[in-house]
A and B are shown apart, each in its own frame.
Chain A
Amino acid sequence: MFQTDAMEYQSDSTLPLIIIPAFNEAKTIASVILDIRERYQYPVLVVNDLSIDDTALVARDAGAIVLNLRVQLGAWGATQTGVRYALRKGYTGVLTLDADGQHEPEYIVGMLEQLGDGNDIVIGAYIERCSKARHLARLYFKLLTGLQIEDVTSGFRAYNFRAMQIIASAQATLLDYQDIGVLLLCRRGGLQILELQTPMNLRRSGHSRVFSSWWVVMRYMLQTSILCFSQIGLRKTVQVR
């Protein structure tokens, strides 16, 4: 059973919360927020992961709610903070995207529509972007996990209330990356995951926090492999209250 942050009171808003984890993204975050706010009414939350630039200030000026972490938790930790905030505030759906502008806000509405269509998680996927080595890594994890998902690393995702409860749980807190571990946990919770093709913007600024060097890639592969091996046979054992 998951311990959740959901409050007893219901939110007056049926809108989903847009969550953007951000670390030193002052250059791009304003345009991402403004782009979303121009198109939609959805409130935007930026979780500032101990940036040393003006990310928090810029985000607030652009009209986002800003949470400031006092301990650096990484992209997943920051995202989870946003989901816990959303539960605390009574939101029943969230959508996460990266702060560097690689995800196109125009696809948000389509992803949310699919979320209402019996899916618990909708992943905004972009498959063509990867190199041969990455493609091989994807194939490897697909075989290892049995997850029928192409783009497991995508940070462009929509979650419904059921999924929010699972990813906000303490069980998901020790995960260091938002991708496979989170999806495996959701599968154990019996959640329906849909992948939607969303063409991507080339990164306007910044670089991947997950794959910054070969050493980091190796560590990621090893850590994720161990996680996958440890999860074998654990299908659908998690229940949501």
Chain B
Amino acid sequence: MVITYQWITAILGIVIAGSILFLVRRDHLHGPYAVWWLLVALITIVLGIWPKLVDGLIYALGVAYPPVLLLVFAQGFTLVKILTMDIERSKQERNLRRLAQQMAIMESLIEDYQQAENNTGKQV
């Protein structure tokens, strides 16, 4: 049973890593995000194959049921990731709004110039 659990986790990690590489290859995932997810995949593979690696930490913290600690860590990292995503989204929203404003202004300026050009053309 233990071996099955280990292998399932390791395979999951490999599938994540493969998917990330596929997404980067297809240009669906931007560089920095790929690094994060590959790291997640790597940790999943390593802990899947050698779950005993975190045992030291588990005993040091006195956790009665080891898998819980991993889940807590996973949850914590997921929260951090989602929060950073929202921060990033806010930044993008600001940039998008400023660009939309800039574009409306530029369009109007171009019209001004075109009109000025037409007027001088008529005078000649």
Q: Tell me whether A228 is interfacial, beta carbon within 8 Å.
A: no
Please determine whether B94 and A170 come into contact, CB atoms closer than 8 angstroms.
Answer: yes
Given contacts A73-B97, A77-B97, contact A174 B104 (CB under 8 A): no
Chain A nearest CB, measured from B87 CB (Å): 12
Please determine whether A68 and B94 come into contact, CB atoms closer than 8 angstroms.
Answer: no
Mark interface residues in A73-101 (1 if CB within 8 Å of B CB, else 0): 10001001100110010000000000000
Please determine whether A69 and B100 come into contact, CB atoms closer than 8 angstroms.
Answer: yes
In the assembled complex, the Cα of A71 lies from the Cα of B105 at a distance in Å of 13
Q: Tell me whether A209 is interfacial, beta carbon within 8 Å.
A: no
Which of these, B90, B94, B98, B103, contacts A70 with CB under 8 Å? B103
Which residues between 38 and 76 of chain A lie within 8 Å of chain B, taking CB atoms?
47, 65-71, 73
Q: What residues of chain A lie closer than 8 Å to B102, measured between beta carbons?
A: 84
Given contacts A85-B108, A170-B94, A173-B94, contact A80 B101 (CB under 8 A): yes
Given contacts A65-B108, A67-B107, contact A81 B94 (CB under 8 A): no
Q: Tell me whether B93 is interfacial, beta carbon within 8 Å.
A: yes
Residues of chain A at interface, number, CB under 8 A: 18
Q: Tell me whether B96 is interfacial, beta carbon within 8 Å.
A: yes
Q: What residues of chain A lie closer than 8 Å to B100, measured between beta carbons?
A: 69-71, 73, 77, 81
Q: What residues of chain A lie closer than 8 Å to B93, measured between beta carbons?
A: 174
Q: What residues of chain B lie closer than 8 Å to A173, measured between beta carbons?
A: 94, 97-98, 101
Given contacts A174-B90, A174-B93, contact A73 B108 (CB under 8 A): no
Given contacts A65-B108, A67-B107, contact A81 B90 (CB under 8 A): no
Q: What residues of chain A lie closer than 8 Å to B98, measured between beta carbons?
A: 170, 173
Q: What residues of chain B lie closer than 8 Å to A77, measured between beta carbons?
A: 97, 100-101
Which residues between 81 and 124 of chain B lie within 8 Å of chain A, taking CB atoms?
90, 93-94, 96-98, 100-105, 107-109
- Among B94, B102, B105, the most chain A Cβ lie within 10 Å of the Cβ of B105
Q: What residues of chain A lie closer than 8 Å to B101, measured between beta carbons?
A: 69, 73, 77, 80-81, 84, 173
In the assembled complex, the Cα of A69 lies from the Cα of B100 at a distance in Å of 6
In the assembled complex, the Cα of A70 lies from the Cα of B100 at a distance in Å of 6
Mark interface residues in A156-175 (1 if CB within 8 Å of B CB, else 0): 00000000000000100110
Q: What residues of chain B lie closer than 8 Å to A170, measured between beta carbons?
A: 94, 98
In the assembled complex, the Cα of A70 lies from the Cα of B98 at a distance in Å of 12
Chain A nearest CB, measured from B36 CB (Å): 25
Which residues between 49 and 103 of chain B lie within 8 Å of chain A, taking CB atoms?
90, 93-94, 96-98, 100-103
Q: What residues of chain B lie closer than 8 Å to A66, measured between beta carbons?
A: 108
Please determine whether A174 and B108 come into contact, CB atoms closer than 8 angstroms.
Answer: no
Chain B nearest CB, measured from A65 CB (Å): 7
Chain B nearest CB, measured from A114 CB (Å): 28
**Chain A to chain B: the 4 pairs with minimum beta-carbon distance, closest first:** A71-B100, A81-B101, A67-B104, A85-B105
What are 29 residue pairs bridging A and B, where the CB atoms are less than 8 Å apart in the complex?
A66-B108, A67-B105, A67-B108, A68-B104, A69-B100, A69-B101, A70-B100, A70-B103, A70-B104, A71-B96, A71-B97, A71-B100, A73-B97, A73-B100, A73-B101, A77-B97, A77-B100, A77-B101, A80-B101, A81-B101, A81-B104, A84-B101, A84-B102, A84-B105, A88-B109, A170-B94, A173-B94, A174-B93, A174-B97
Sample of 6 more A-B contacts, CB < 8 Å, known A81-B104, A84-B101: A67-B107, A71-B96, A81-B100, A84-B105, A173-B101, A174-B94
